[in-house]
Structure 1
C-alpha cells in the first residue's frame, strides 16, 4: 500500500497553554514523516482562535478552526475529523510534543489494511523536574500518560489512548465520531474514556479491525504542578470511575470493563506489593505508592457507582456511522 497522508488534529482551549501549543505544532512540523496538515481546533475561545489565526497561515500547513459542536474535547475532535483531508487522522495533546519519528511509526503500521487505529507511548514531563515519590507508575493515566501494565512493543489492544493516537478516516465512517458527554470539557471535572468507547464501537462495526499501540511512537506530555498533588490524583480517579460507567452504559460492561478487570486483578496488586516491599526496605515513597494505589481504586469505584446511577438518566450522546448522533438529553 502507498504511504498514507496524515492529518494531525490538536484541540486547544486556553491561552494559558500558548507556549505549549506552539511547541506541539513545532514538533509536528519537524516530523521525519511530514504531516499532510495540522488542524488546530479551538474550543469556544474567540480570543485564542484570533491569536492563532494571526500566528499561522494555511500556507504554513496549519489551519485554525472553531469547534463546531458543543464545548468539550470530543466535539473538538469531531470538528477536526470533519475538516481533515488525510487518509489517517492523528491526535496530539495541546501540552505535548512528539518525537521526530512519531508519525513515521504510525504510517508504517497502516501498511496492514486491517489496522484501523494506532496509538503510541506518552511519557510524563513533571513540572517539578521528577516524579513525586508517592505517585505510582500504575496510575500514570491520571496525568494522561502511558501507565505500568500496558504491554511493550507493537501490540494489539482494545483501545488506544486519545492524546497520542491515530485512526483511519474509514473508521469514523463506519463507527461515527467521539461521543459527547464523556470526555473533557475545558476546566470542568477531568472526565475521559471517550476513545475507549469509540474503539469498542469501532471493533463492533468493523469485524476483524486491528487496533495497535506502538511504543516507539513517543510523545512527551507536560504535567503541571497542580496535577502532581494527591488532590488532583483523587479527583481524576473519581472522574475515571464516572467515565467508565458511561462507557459501560454505551457498550456494555463486558467490553467496557474488559481491560480494567485485568488491570485491577493483576497490575494493581503487583504495584501494591512493590510499594510495600520498598517501604520495608526503607526506599523513599514505597508506602505512599501502595497507599495511593489503594486510594485510587476505592475512589474510582465510588465514581463508577455514582456514574452508573447517573448513566441510567441518559446523559450522553452516542454517534452513529457518518457522525450523526443519537442518545439522551444533553
Structure 2
C-alpha cells in the first residue's frame, strides 16, 4: 500500500496552482482516520489494512470528509502543494480507500473519436448510433467512425443514413480483416485526442463520455473503461449476466492491474489516449482477448488504467444457453494466447501462509483427535505475532479486530481456492474422481470439485443478490464455470501448452505499512 512519506515535508513546499479540472474526494465508509499522540493512522477493514501517516494527513482527510472538494480544502492549507495531495489521494484511491472524481468544463474537454467496428449488423448498428445521438458531449469535439469490415448486407447503407444527424464518417474496408484491425484502422484515421471504443451491439449511456473523459485530466492516465450492463433483463441469462458478466467488474471504481481485483477492460467500453495506443502498436491481431492484451501492454509501460463503473454501456448479451456457453468458452480459450504473450500475468492464487500451514497440519494429523487441534496453532501464532507487532507500533487496533480479520481472510482465501479449482481444474478433477471412485482418493476429489462449484456459486448468489431465483442462478453459474474450464482446456490442447493451467501460488504474510 502507498505511504504518505512525501507529505511529511509539505511545510517546506510552496503552494502551486491547481489544474483546470475539479476533483472531489469521497472517503470510504470503512476508512478510519485516527491520531494517537504523535502517531497518525489510516485504518481500513475488509481486508484489515494499517498505514502510518504524518499527522497533517489526518487534518487533510478530516476536512475532506466534511467538504469533498479537493480544491477548496487545499486552499485552506497555505503551504500545501496541490500535486502532492492529488498524488497521495490517487494512491489511496488505487487501494479503494477513497473515491476521486474529476469533472471538466466544456471548454476544457478533449476531442473524442468514437470507433465502432461492424460486420453485417445493420439493425444493431442503427440502435448504437441512435444511442450516440443522445450523448451529452459537445458536438464540435466529437466524431464517430464506423469501420465496416466488408459487410455483405446493407450495413453501410444503413450507417450512411445517419450522416446528417451525427458527426459521422463511414470507412468501408474491401475485405474482412477482423475487429482488431478495424479498430486500428479507425485509430489511424481518427482526429480525436481520445479514442472511445464500443461495439455495434452496444448502446452507450448519454453520460458515457462525461463520466469517463475527465479522468484524462491526469497525464499519467492512458486508458479508462466503465461498466458493461445487459441491455434488457427479459431472460434469466440476462439477469445472471447483470452480476456475473466478464465484461464488467462491479460497482466500485478501481485501478486496473493484470493481477488486481480489476485485471482488464473490454472494447465494448474502452477509452484510450490515441498517442498511447499508437505508441504500443495498436490492437494485436488476436480474438478474443485483443482488449485484454492492449490493457496489459499499457500497464507494462507504466500507464495508469482505470475502471470507472459510472460510465455505462448497455450490451446485447447472449440470452440463449448455447451461445452463452460458446462465448464463455471462447473467452477462456483466449487466456492461452494471453499467457503466451504475458507470461508474468498468468492467474495467481494468494493464500495466507498461516492457513496453508494449518491445512498441512490438519492433513498430517489425519483422524487422530488429539492432534487435530495442532492445526489451529499456525493461525493462533499468526494472530499473536501480528498483535505483538501492532502493540509495539501502538496502533489503535484491538485483538478482536485482528481475530475477525484473520477469520475473514481465511474465508476469502477458501472462496478463491474454490474459484480457482472450479474454473481451471473442474473437468480434470471430475474425471479423476470418476476413475478413482472406488478409492477414498477418488471420492475426496469428487467432493472437492463439487464443493468448489456449488460453494462459490452459493457465495456469489448471497454476495451479489441477483434478480434471479437461486436454482437458475446456480445452474448458470455451474454452466459458466464448466464452459470456462472447457474453453481453457481446448485452448491448451490447440496450442500444445499447459502453462495457463499452472496457477501461481503466492503466500500472504500480514504486514503493517508505515512512512
Q: Does 1:10 align with 2:10?
A: no
Structure 2 CA distance for aligned equivalents of residues 266 and 75 of structure 1: 38
Q: Does 1:273 align with 2:458?
A: yes
CA shift, 1:173, in A, is 2.6
User: Is the 1:134–1:288 Cα contact (8 Å) retained in structure 2?
Assistant: no
Structure 1 CA distance for aligned equivalents of residues 210 and 137 of structure 2: 5
Pick aligned residue for 1:75 from 175, 181, 200: 181
Pick aligned residue for 1:305 from 492, 502, 506: 492
Q: Does 1:167 align with 2:272?
A: yes
CA shift, 1:124, in A, is 0.8
Cα distance change of structure 1 residues 27 and 125 upon mapping to structure 2, 3 Å threshold: closer
Cα distance change of structure 1 residues 290 and 310 upon mapping to structure 2, 3 Å threshold: closer
Structure 1 CA distance for aligned equivalents of residues 176 and 340 of structure 2: 21
Extract unaligned runs of 5+ from structure 2: 1-19, 21-107, 258-263, 352-412, 423-451, 500-515
- Residue 134 of structure 2 corresponds to 30
Structure 1 CA distance for aligned equivalents of residues 191 and 349 of structure 2: 33
CA shift, 1:251, in A, is 1.9
User: Is the 1:69–1:75 Cα contact (8 Å) retained in structure 2?
Assistant: no
Structure 1 CA distance for aligned equivalents of residues 313 and 206 of structure 2: 9
SS, match of residue 299 in structure 2: helix
CA shift, 1:275, in A, is 7.0
Cα distance change of structure 1 residues 84 and 247 upon mapping to structure 2, 3 Å threshold: same
C-alpha root-mean-square deviation of aligned residues, in Å?
3.3
- Residue 179 of structure 1 corresponds to 284
Structure 2 CA distance for aligned equivalents of residues 26 and 220 of structure 1: 13
Structure 2 CA distance for aligned equivalents of residues 259 and 5 of structure 1: 41
- Residue 219 of structure 2 corresponds to 113
- Residue 314 of structure 2 corresponds to 220
Structure 1 CA distance for aligned equivalents of residues 250 and 244 of structure 2: 15
SS, match of residue 132 in structure 1: helix
Cα distance change of structure 1 residues 69 and 120 upon mapping to structure 2, 3 Å threshold: farther
Structure 2 CA distance for aligned equivalents of residues 80 and 106 of structure 1: 20
User: Is the 1:275–1:287 Cα contact (8 Å) retained in structure 2?
Assistant: no
How is 1:126-145 mapped onto 2 (pairs within 5 angstroms)?
126=232, 129-132=234-237, 135=240, 139-141=244-246, 145=247
Q: So what's the TM-score if we normalise by structure 2?
A: 0.50
Cα distance change of structure 1 residues 50 and 298 upon mapping to structure 2, 3 Å threshold: closer
CA shift, 1:300, in A, is 3.1
Q: So what's the TM-score if we normalise by structure 1?
A: 0.75
How is 1:13-92 mapped onto 2 (pairs within 5 angstroms)?
13-14=119-120, 17-34=121-138, 36-45=142-151, 47-48=153-154, 50-52=156-158, 54-57=160-163, 60-67=166-173, 71-92=177-198
User: Is the 2:128–2:201 Cα contact (8 Å) retained in structure 1?
Assistant: yes
Structure 2 CA distance for aligned equivalents of residues 26 and 286 of structure 1: 33
**Count of aligned pairs:** 285
- Residue 305 of structure 2 corresponds to 211
- Residue 255 of structure 1 corresponds to 345
User: Any idea what the Cα deviations from partners look like across 1:185-205, whole Å, max 9, x if unmatched?
Assistant: xxxxxxx2111111111222x
Pick aligned residue for 1:230 from 316, 321, 337: 321
Structure 2 CA distance for aligned equivalents of residues 257 and 137 of structure 1: 24
User: Is the 2:222–2:272 Cα contact (8 Å) retained in structure 1?
Assistant: yes
User: Any idea what the Cα deviations from partners look like across 1:11-61, whole Å, max 9, x if unmatched?
Assistant: 1101xx323212211222221123510000001126446414641337841
Larger-Rg structure:
2
Cα distance change of structure 1 residues 229 and 203 upon mapping to structure 2, 3 Å threshold: same
Q: Does 1:196 align with 2:292?
A: yes
Structure 2 CA distance for aligned equivalents of residues 133 and 42 of structure 1: 28
SS, match of residue 110 in structure 1: helix
Pick aligned residue for 1:154 from 253, 260, 276: 253
Extract unaligned runs of 5+ from structure 1: 184-191, 313-330
Higher relative contact order (CA 8 A, sep 6+): 1
